[in-house]
Amino acid sequence: MNENSKESPDLVQLSEAEKKRLIRSTRRTDLRRIIGALFLIYGVLVTIMGIVDPATDAAKTGGLHINLWTGISMLVAGGLFFLWDKLAPVPEEDIVASAESVEIKKAEGEGKLG
């Protein structure tokens, strides 16, 4: 950043509505939520396969119901990803600061700042 960016803060300031929209959108697309959702979806499918046809699993794996246990562990992993996202969300200040720095770089690249 250079000195001129301090002289024209209106080029990079986000309104409160834009900040809230940005925070909501960033948290909605957090990678922990996406991975957690995938684990839950596949966990449900694999668990159902383990419940519906347990004899096939046991015959192939020496008595172990692998689909059932794998599905349950995937459900637990998905739940842990969602819990992690809930207990340690991305701080609002980091999201806003990152977006404003991107706007500063865009303005510098377009020749609007200094």
pLDDT at 69: 94
**What gap in Å lies between CA 34 and CA 28, rounded to an integer?**
9
Determine the average pLDDT of the residues in 12-30: 79
Output the average pLDDT for the chain: 81
Total-model pTM: 0.69
pLDDT in tens, 42-95: 999 999 999 998 887 777 888 889 999 999 999 999 999 999 999 988 787 777
Q: Are 96 and 23 in contact (CB under 8 A)?
A: yes
Closest CA to 46 of 61, 64, 67: 67
- For residues 11 and 103, the answer to whether their CB atoms sit within 8 Å is yes
**CB contact at 8 A, 32 and 84:** yes
| Dihedral sign for Cα atoms in the order 11, 12, 13, 14 | positive
